[in-house]
Structure 1
Amino acid sequence: MHYRFDRYELLEPRRELRRDGQPLHLGARAFDVLLVLLSHADRVVTKAELLDRVWPGAVVEENNLQVQISTLRKLLGERAIATIPRRGYRFTLPLTDAATAPPTPAGLPAQRAAPGNLPAALPPIIGREAEQRMLAQALQAQVTVSIVATGGVGKTHLARAVAAQWRSGERAVWWVDLAALRHPALVAPTLARALGVQEAAGHTPEQTVADALRDQDGLLLLDNCEHLLPAVVRLVEQVRAAAPRLRLLITSQQALKTADEWVYRLDTLPLPHGDALPLVARSTAVQLFVQRVQALQPGFALDAGNAAAVAQLCRRLDGIPLALELAAARVPLLGLGGLAERLDQRLQLLRGHGRRGLSRHDTLQAALAFSHGLLSPDEQAVYRRLGVFAGSFSSAAAQAVAADAQVDAWAVLDHLAALVDKSMLLLAPGDTPRLRLLETTRAHALHCLAEAGETAAVQARHAQAIAAQVAAMAQDYWAIGDAEMRARCEPDHDNLHVAIAWALAHDPALAVRLVGDAGPLWREALSQQPEGARYCEAALACVRADTPALDHGRLLHTQAWMLIWSQQRRARSVALRAAELLRGTPDTATLGMTLLLLIPGTTRPDATQEAALAELQRLHSPQAAPRVRVQLLSASARLAMGAGRYDEALQLYGQARELLDGCGAVQWAGVLAWTMAGIAMTLDDLDFAVDTLRQTADRLDAQPVRGIFLAFALGSLATALLLRGDTAAARAALARAAPLIVRYDLGFRYAATAAGLAAAEQRWFSAARLMGYGESARRASGVDAEEPAELRVRARTDAALQARPEATALASARGAGRLLDTAGAFGVALGQT
């Protein structure tokens, strides 16, 4: 399309304005404003329409539009554009044959391309040196190299650095930024201008470009191609045919998919793997963030005091260079703490700050809105619905959540593949592939979900999908090993949190089922007993008079197992009620696990314990799954322990442990090994106890989850070593156990060992304080009875303290120790306080 008015002529394909046949200099934004006004010369064009057409997806102040209008009036005359108050603008000059008048001939034949246009001075590259070297090497072997990534990751910066390295070999480099183009027909003319050539009569723009580059051996960098892919592909194919020695470097959110294309998917910048200063300082994401802060606040430095805060900020920003730069610009005003507090509103917080005019490269909102605009309506629907997932998710879960009456589950699969292809969704391939949105992208998806009015419905589908996964895992628990269970549930741990939180607030019945089914996850796969106990308390408030006995019973069963290690009396009371509810339901396996809690193994058997064993015997057949048969063996062993038949108990526990080892139940087998070692210590077979606990601790320590059962193994190993007189080894074992003892609040179990270690090292006042701590901790826990080995250590330490000449002062220290918490007590035990 071209337009004539007065002495002027606008040629849209060439993006050129002429007066009396001579080209005029006109900025890109002013040209776009004029083009919109000319194409709607028959009516008023509103300010909102102009802003949307000229700055699509960007947040732009209205004065930017006023500046462009002023520029056009200076060039065309004040009467060319009329302002319509409170409405917009209208082009007022009469047009002459706008659609049919031939353009003024350019008059220049096709010519060779000028020797490159890449700026001589480019900003330094930070954190991409390895990628730069790799891509430079790829260009030596590949004719077309594409850097593909979502917006804001730094494709342009990296590509220009690679191109500059190529230019250093005295080869021409042409850089063409297509970001501002709105129409595919403008691709070739824009490239022609960059090459410094004009179209000859009878030649198309594509032919002009191909002729200009014919037989060239330089590098053509086509930047920001994602919104014009078909036109770019056509042009690339013509250029490749004319210039087989030419190298092409492409940046796009989606690959071209040409035959000779070599695609490199650019990731975000590497994040720190810990919070210690050396680890944080090595992260290139941190290096970029710190460099950008220092440019605005020269006194800023990364140090031990702020390393953890900087690391957390970079993680929450996903290592996205654009996000890091925009966040760094806020630090002088907000500080690190203020920035962190506001990151939940990152789309509003991380906006451009005037340096580059709020283009789609200057604000996260604009970059994401631009990428979102490239999606089809159905792709947009799937994209926004994926925002409810926390962390990664499976394709099956995505189908359950994103499908509806308009987009069926099979179509969702196609759209997921498209979103990966367009760099809006990350894919971690493998036997069980996982998909993930960057957190910044997720914030945008949730914003779109809210705008579409779908938040409530999609959150409900998400909670139901996660509940179905957890219910299936709970049913399979009896037949699968720890590794498979963990592989199935650990990736969705964050989604479980989100689903439970939603169910607690909106669907009480679902909350009861979901928390009750999650017991095996918290008990063994993830070893998150304190977390599970908190959720159980919250879910119990959702129980109603019409709650099914099965759901209520499973919830109480889960709560009892969360409490048994730290609040034994309360746990058994809860287990009694759970057993009442589960009787008469088809879930005999869960009932059996509940009955097991009613047999402590530390007291002489009574009628309740014997009845529990008898009920277990009725419930389970010899053909039951190994985990189920272990219930009966463990119950029998506990009764034997309580009756003092230790050899029988060891034999029964050994059989149960073999069953668990055979089905891969490493965590539960570790509990049985710990119990067997406790029996050995009771029998004074300390060598067996030490060997068993060392092997068990090493095996559990090698598992991906360092949990409560490892705390038992290490704490009891310290006890056994102390009884054997190996003080140094006991200290080492207790030091390994201490963080876990604190995490799971197990201080009451190992307070005597901690005091005994201090006494063995002749730290008498520390020993006295720890004895006092143990007294208060045992009372708070409601423990039924102490392990015999702990009783021996405590009695020995008590006697040693009473024999000291400063016994009166030690008694006072003992009283002060009752005020210690678990963390403080084990700091005293290891001489840290």
Structure 2
Amino acid sequence: MGQIELGLFECCGWELDLAKRELRALGAPVPIGSRAFEILETLIVSAGEIVSKDELMKRVWPGLVVEDNTIQVHISAIRKALGKDRNLLKTISGRGYRILGDWTCHGEPATTRAPAPPMRLRSTESSFFTNIPASMSDLVGRQTTIAQVLNLISAYRVVTLTGPGGIGKTVLASEIARHLLPSLNGDAFFVELVSLSDPDLVPTTLAQTLDLHLQGDEISADLVARAIGARKMLLVIDNCEHVIDAAAAMVEAIVRACRNVSVLATSRELLRIEGEFAYRVPPLEVPASEDVGNALEHSAVQLFIARTRALLWDFAPSQEKLSAIAAICRHLDGIPLAIEFAAARAATLGIQQIAGRLDDRFVLLTGGRRTALPRHQTLRAALDWSYELLPETERQLLRNLAIFPAGFTLDAAVAVSGEAEAETALGISNLVSKSLVTFEGAETGPRWRLLETVRAYALEKLGDREHYQRTMRRLTKYFLSFFRPFSEERHLQAAIEEIGRYRREIDNVRAALRWALSPDGDGVLGARLAATTSDFWTAISLVSEAGDWAQKALEYIGEESGSRTEMVLRCALGFALIYTQGMSHRGREVLTGALQLAKEFDDFDYQQRVTCALWLFSARSMELEDALAFAREYEQVAKGRDLQSRATAAWLVGIPQTYQAEHQEAGERLEWAARHFPFDNRRKDMLRLGADVRTSSLAHNTVNLVSRGQLDTAVRTAEDSIREARETRQPFVLCVALAWAAAFVSLSLDEVHRAKEYGEELLDHAFQHGLRPFHAVGLCVTGSLASRAGKPRDGIDALRSGLGDMREAAYLLFYPFFLCELASAMQATGRFDEGLQEIENAFHFSKDKGYRWMVPEILRRKGEILAAQNTSDAFLVKNLFRQAMQQASAQGGIYWQIAAGNSLVEFLDGNGERGSARGILLPIYEQFTEGFSSAKLSRAKILIEGLG
């Protein structure tokens, strides 16, 4: 670099004093760390030239390997020190850094400064002083944190470690100081302020710890700073929060007067002085779930195991214990102090006892080390320390905020505090700075939360009497307003599109509902909130929860009885019962009452909703005439209305017609409904109608398509219905599509691989979301496939279980179909009489319900069982097959006609009556235009060609 000046560099009001190693702005010292100063010095001396990263490393960290991140930390520190002139320091991408401006040098010339000597280790004979405490045990899980803070200390003069009580600030500060000791080349002192009750004693405590021998009646911060002077020193000042103003004044005086002193402070509240870098000590890493696969990789679990082994040397956690440990660490928010308490108790009480009693954590988690400070010997004492330091207004706010289990926004906090927004915002800010409230981010607006342990403590302080009741009432009223868009038809679609905003409040609104719908709550308010949120629960696929809250609310409805609130609750409960329990008498009663109220209020929206629900109830319980009556009633109301209403009417009429075997007209209606039902507001319409019209129309129309011989089209339509259903992200909609694709199309066309794939997904999905009727269908698919795979006994068990669940749920759309499957499984085991009885059950059910489309297949299956007995009347068997063909022909069901024809030809062939295949099968076969690779058409072709 040639010759440089060991004097003063000036530019734009800035001064860099190399002799005093001081950066000044308009004459006032600006705090900056020693290595950050050396970087700035190197850049200024380079007179605007680019200095590479490698050059900076050799100059500032001679002999050491330094990561790029370390350079970035120090560059950020320099820019922070330069403030509004931060742009003087430029990053030259891929090349290095340069300093801008015309820096004038004043001073005596000198030869080029030699690089700073390598850092030397502190020898045992060194004259430097330290009282940094020795390590009592290994510091678990803090390697990354230590590295980060070490970087910060070399970049900033003052680093404050903040965080809630028990997070490990003191232990971390001591460990960092021990890391610095070998290379410090100066004194290192640990100054403990915890025992001070008088803030005025802060300077005196520092003077005594540093052995400054100050005289006089009053020892001030400035006097201590002058006494330290030019000594090189690291000060660890611990527990500043209860004397925060005095501690801040002391540190500020030292930084201003003592250019060779760096300060590492610990405090639950920031010092808020110039040049301070606040480092929030993070909790230890906790597993996101109780999955033990990677539990040992998380530092919180490592600490728990280490501390338990210190008391039980042979402790070796099993998979079950690891799962419990993961849960304990997660509930304790990864706070080291709480985890150490839990580990100590686990050593004597057992892990499962601790995991099961965390709700009583403040009684349970005691017994810290005897050498620990009193406030660190129980979890409650640790929090008492922070709580007692708060002014009463902040204590009250903290208690109020504890009612939010899922965090809160400013609006929500204002609502429960009862104070003005400005006062509440200031209070939250203060609680954040004191490490009692955590800022969660501002992706969709600022949000905060309390650590679970802090929340439990604050709830305990809130109590359960008048103040708690008042706060919970405010919370419930707030969410009644917040979720109102879900109860207003004109705003419903917009609310659905912003569902993430509402989803974040799930646990909060649950807390409000639990309180309101309890003996000590406000039942009327709770009923209103349950009604307001009913569509929200369905929108996020929690149909059963919508029903649970509606049921509870109807018990507490009080003066809201007979109101629109009751109408909405009845509608929500009715839909939930249909999808989760089936077609019960209770469900029909609830919906009938809802329809009566909707008519009283002349509410067209809810008349539509409840009419659709009653239609759904009737259709699924196979009361087809009732379903058609509801559909025709809706059709009359929908005439002349919008496309959505007309498409809905076509869907409602088309489905009962399908099962009454009016395949042509039903198919046309369902195709029209699927094609014309609008995409706009689709999710809103799902909530209103209890189904997705497009998906349902496609799925049900597969019955018409298969019956009419459009086999390839039926397969594509089933696949389309599944794709459409997935787009809705609604479990009950997907179950509808999977049920028809697996239970009807794939089994009817003997496509066992596709039936297995769809059937397994149906079972998993229905079980996961508590959709019992669809789970019954999945069981029956499993039984049918087992029977067809040569395991009819397994098939019989699964089919009986599924059919039993269908009967209990009164979900009967597939009932005759699977009775036939059960009969075939019994035939395969030689239980012919039992099989025939199940066929009779299917026949009488279909006849009584007007379920005509299955009759041809029922007759064919009966003939197959009788033919297999070998002792049956051949005329009766042939007659059954012919009846099946005639009825299928009358319905336009050529697929069932060819199936019965195959059975007839094979029976005749088996009885020596040859030559009839072409005459029987060919006229039917020639009506097909697709699906020739299907099992039944392939068989028909073989029979025609082989016997013609």
> What TM-score does the superposition give when structure 2 sets the normalisation length?
0.67
Q: Distance in 1 between matches of 2:355 and 2:238?
A: 33
Matched, 1:781 2:809: yes
Q: Distance in 1 between matches of 2:291 and 2:346?
A: 21
Q: Distance in 2 between matches of 1:305 and 1:662?
A: 42
**Would the aligned equivalents of 1:482 and 1:666 in 2 still touch at CA under 8 Å?**
no
Q: Distance in 2 between matches of 1:211 and 1:148?
A: 28
Deviations 1:322-354, CA, capped at 9 Å, x for gaps: 111111111133222322333222122222356
Structure 2 residue aligned with 1:759: 787
Q: Distance in 2 between matches of 1:209 and 1:340?
A: 50
Partner amino acid, structure 2, of 1:771: L
Partner amino acid, structure 1, of 2:763: A
Shift in alpha-carbon separation, 1:594–1:632, aligned structure 2, 3 A: farther
Q: Distance in 2 between matches of 1:491 and 1:771?
A: 41
Matched, 1:639 2:661: no
Q: Distance in 2 between matches of 1:213 and 1:609?
A: 91
TM-superposed CA distance for 1:561, in Å, is 1.5
Q: Distance in 1 between matches of 2:537 and 2:550?
A: 11
3-state DSSP of counterpart to 2:654 = helix
3-state DSSP of counterpart to 1:254 = coil
Matched, 1:648 2:672: no
**Would the aligned equivalents of 1:113 and 1:196 in 2 still touch at CA under 8 Å?**
no
Q: Distance in 2 between matches of 1:118 and 1:545?
A: 69
Which stretch of structure 1 is more off in the superposition, 661-670 or 645-654? Answer: 661-670
Correspondence for 2:147 among 117, 124, 133: 133
Shift in alpha-carbon separation, 1:812–1:377, aligned structure 2, 3 A: farther
Deviations 1:595-634, CA, capped at 9 Å, x for gaps: 221223563576741464157438x954xxxxxx745532
Matched, 1:471 2:493: no
Partner amino acid, structure 1, of 2:156: Q
Shift in alpha-carbon separation, 1:177–1:480, aligned structure 2, 3 A: farther
Counting only pairs closer than 5 Å after superposition, residues 537-552 of structure 1 correspond to structure 2 as 537-544=551-558, 547-552=561-566
Partner amino acid, structure 1, of 2:424: V
Q: Distance in 1 between matches of 2:149 and 2:490?
A: 48
Correspondence for 1:535 among 524, 538, 549: 549
Structure 2 residue aligned with 1:35: none
Q: Distance in 1 between matches of 2:143 and 2:489?
A: 48
Structure 2 residue aligned with 1:511: 526
Structure 1 residue aligned with 2:258: 243
TM-superposed CA distance for 1:557, in Å, is 0.8
Q: Distance in 2 between matches of 1:455 and 1:228?
A: 32
Bigger Rg over Cα: 2
TM-superposed CA distance for 1:725, in Å, is 4.7
Structure 1 residue aligned with 2:322: 307
Structure 2 residue aligned with 1:443: 456
Shift in alpha-carbon separation, 1:597–1:735, aligned structure 2, 3 A: same
Matched, 1:772 2:788: no
3-state DSSP of counterpart to 1:256 = coil
TM-superposed CA distance for 1:453, in Å, is 5.4
3-state DSSP of counterpart to 2:390 = coil
Structure 2 residue aligned with 1:609: 630
Q: Distance in 1 between matches of 2:703 and 2:495?
A: 28
Partner amino acid, structure 2, of 1:420: V
Q: Distance in 1 between matches of 2:389 and 2:279?
A: 21
Shift in alpha-carbon separation, 1:632–1:318, aligned structure 2, 3 A: farther
Shift in alpha-carbon separation, 1:718–1:246, aligned structure 2, 3 A: farther
TM-superposed CA distance for 1:212, in Å, is 4.6
Structure 1 residue aligned with 2:849: none
Q: Distance in 1 between matches of 2:446 and 2:614?
A: 42
Shift in alpha-carbon separation, 1:498–1:277, aligned structure 2, 3 A: same
Partner amino acid, structure 2, of 1:241: R
Matched, 1:392 2:419: no
Matched, 1:197 2:224: no
Q: Distance in 1 between matches of 2:258 and 2:331?
A: 45
Q: Distance in 2 between matches of 1:694 and 1:141?
A: 59
Q: Distance in 2 between matches of 1:713 and 1:139?
A: 62
Counting only pairs closer than 5 Å after superposition, residues 148-163 of structure 1 correspond to structure 2 as 148-163=162-177
TM-superposed CA distance for 1:411, in Å, is 1.8
TM-superposed CA distance for 1:151, in Å, is 0.9
Structure 2 residue aligned with 1:831: none
Partner amino acid, structure 1, of 2:784: G
Structure 2 residue aligned with 1:58: none
Shift in alpha-carbon separation, 1:461–1:169, aligned structure 2, 3 A: same
Partner amino acid, structure 1, of 2:171: H
Q: Distance in 1 between matches of 2:299 and 2:179?
A: 21
Partner amino acid, structure 1, of 2:554: L
**Would the aligned equivalents of 2:796 and 2:826 in 1 still touch at CA under 8 Å?**
yes
**Would the aligned equivalents of 1:768 and 1:810 in 2 still touch at CA under 8 Å?**
no
Shift in alpha-carbon separation, 1:651–1:329, aligned structure 2, 3 A: same
3-state DSSP of counterpart to 2:263 = strand
Counting only pairs closer than 5 Å after superposition, residues 229-378 of structure 1 correspond to structure 2 as 229-353=244-368, 355-356=370-371, 359-378=374-393
TM-superposed CA distance for 1:760, in Å, is 3.8
**Would the aligned equivalents of 1:640 and 1:646 in 2 still touch at CA under 8 Å?**
yes
Counting only pairs closer than 5 Å after superposition, residues 403-482 of structure 1 correspond to structure 2 as 403=418, 407-430=419-442, 431-450=444-463, 454-475=467-488, 478-480=491-493
Correspondence for 1:555 among 555, 564, 569: 569
TM-superposed CA distance for 1:793, in Å, is 6.3
Structure 2 residue aligned with 1:12: none
3-state DSSP of counterpart to 1:659 = coil
Shift in alpha-carbon separation, 1:432–1:188, aligned structure 2, 3 A: same
Structure 2 residue aligned with 1:146: 160
Residue identity (%): 24
Give the unaligned 5+ runs of structure 2. Answer: 1-125, 659-665, 707-712, 840-948
**Would the aligned equivalents of 1:605 and 1:642 in 2 still touch at CA under 8 Å?**
no
Task: Count residues with an aligned counterpart.
Answer: 685
Matched, 1:680 2:707: no
Deviations 1:668-700, CA, capped at 9 Å, x for gaps: 886732541332354133432343245246546
Q: Distance in 2 between matches of 1:349 and 1:595?
A: 55
**Would the aligned equivalents of 1:660 and 1:666 in 2 still touch at CA under 8 Å?**
no
Partner amino acid, structure 1, of 2:483: V
Structure 2 residue aligned with 1:11: none
**Would the aligned equivalents of 1:482 and 1:524 in 2 still touch at CA under 8 Å?**
no
Structure 2 residue aligned with 1:164: 178
Shift in alpha-carbon separation, 1:425–1:654, aligned structure 2, 3 A: farther
**Would the aligned equivalents of 2:699 and 2:736 in 1 still touch at CA under 8 Å?**
no
Shift in alpha-carbon separation, 1:804–1:548, aligned structure 2, 3 A: closer
**Would the aligned equivalents of 1:309 and 1:336 in 2 still touch at CA under 8 Å?**
yes
TM-superposed CA distance for 1:383, in Å, is 0.9
Structure 1 residue aligned with 2:824: 799
3-state DSSP of counterpart to 1:360 = helix
Deviations 1:635-680, CA, capped at 9 Å, x for gaps: 4312123224222222223332522459897998867325413323
Partner amino acid, structure 2, of 1:677: A
RMSD: 3.3
Shift in alpha-carbon separation, 1:606–1:157, aligned structure 2, 3 A: closer
Shift in alpha-carbon separation, 1:228–1:140, aligned structure 2, 3 A: same
Matched, 1:498 2:511: yes
Structure 2 residue aligned with 1:27: none
**Would the aligned equivalents of 2:289 and 2:327 in 1 still touch at CA under 8 Å?**
no
Deviations 1:113-138, CA, capped at 9 Å, x for gaps: 95222124353111222111112122
Shift in alpha-carbon separation, 1:650–1:449, aligned structure 2, 3 A: same
> What TM-score does the superposition give when structure 1 sets the normalisation length?
0.75
TM-superposed CA distance for 1:554, in Å, is 0.9
Partner amino acid, structure 1, of 2:592: L
Q: Distance in 1 between matches of 2:834 and 2:569?
A: 49
Shift in alpha-carbon separation, 1:606–1:149, aligned structure 2, 3 A: closer
Q: Distance in 2 between matches of 1:663 and 1:472?
A: 12
